[in-house]
């Protein structure tokens, strides 16, 4: 997996942007951009915002590799995109050693429960509060539900499909022979499954739109009937007046 734009934006919000090289207290090397640090950064160096973004994405490759490797080998869950982004941000800040400690042998909920344990008690109160804020936002992203389209990409078997509307549709498609299923596994590609589910969803939207239009037409018909009844009443009243005059 790689970091989504949402994850990149989260890291950028924490790291801040420096278009000129700065040397932080106690550090051996200079820092530039969104926390890019190392011997390649020179005193007085300046970069553009676009170059800073490119450096960040270049740096993230190593952290993505660590997250992919360690989560696969040590964690007791398969991360979705939000969880992966949160872990990359955590690793970018705390390092691969802390990442391994955070996830080793833990479920997703257990990992979420331990985020706030990494706030470095040393340093100023403002510095520690900044770390607490970062851990809280990383934890919030880690626990955030996936967008529907992203979640569909992870459907490999019927057990992966959320209960409710989509589970019912997939089960119906299996029962009618449109989808092949064996021992709970879906015998088709992810793209095929997503295409079928999207078609089902599109049909539902069409039906909902048709119902909404039908409701609107019904309301207009009711208005027209009420208007007609009003006209009939006026005609009747006018006729009665004419009879009186005659």
| DSSP structural state of residue 46 | B
d(CA 123, CA 25) in angstroms, rounded, equals 12
Region of 16 on the Ramachandran plot (φ > 0 left; ψ -120 to 50 alpha; else beta): left
User: What distances in angstroms separate CA 5 from CA 56, 78, 85, one per listed residue?
Assistant: 12, 20, 9
User: Are 139 and 86 contacting, i.e. CB atoms less than 8 angstroms apart?
Assistant: yes
Residues carrying an active site annotation: 15
* Residue 125 in tokens: 């109160």
- Inter-axis angle of helices 5-15 and 49-74, nearest 10: 110
* Residue 3 in tokens: 């970091």
Output the DSSP codes for 207-235: HHHHHHHHHHHHHHHHHHHHHHHHHHHHH
């Amino acid at each position: 997996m790689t970091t989504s734009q949402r994850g990149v934006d989260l890291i950028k919000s924490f790291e801040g942007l420096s278009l000129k090289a700065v040397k932080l207290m106690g550090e051996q090397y200079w820092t530039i951009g969104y926390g890019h640090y190392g011997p390649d950064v020179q005193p007085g160096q300046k970069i553009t915002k676009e170059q800073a973004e490119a450096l960040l994405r270049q740096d993230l490759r190593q952290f993505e590799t660590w997250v992919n490797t360690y989560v696969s080998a040590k964690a007791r869950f398969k991360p979705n995109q939000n969880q992966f982004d949160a872990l990359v941000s955590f690793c970018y800040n705390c390092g691969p050693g802390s990442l391994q400690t955070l996830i080793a042998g833990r479920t997703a909920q257990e990992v979420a429960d331990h985020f706030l344990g990494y706030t470095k008690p040393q340093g100023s109160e403002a510095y520690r509060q900044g770390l607490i804020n970062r851990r809280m936002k990383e934890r919030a992203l880690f626990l955030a539900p996936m967008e529907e389209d992203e979640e569909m990409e992870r459907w490999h078997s019927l057990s992966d499909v959320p209960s409710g509307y989509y589970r019912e549709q997939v089960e119906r498609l299996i029962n009618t022979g449109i989808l092949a299923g064996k021992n709970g596994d879906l015998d088709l590609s992810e793209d095929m499954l997503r295409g079928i589910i999207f078609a089902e969803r599109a049909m539902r939207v069409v039906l909902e739109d048709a119902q909404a239009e039908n409701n609107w037409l019904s309301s207009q018909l009711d208005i027209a009937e009420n208007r007609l009844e009003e006209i009939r009443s006026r005609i009747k009243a006018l006729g009665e007046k004419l009879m009186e005059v005659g």
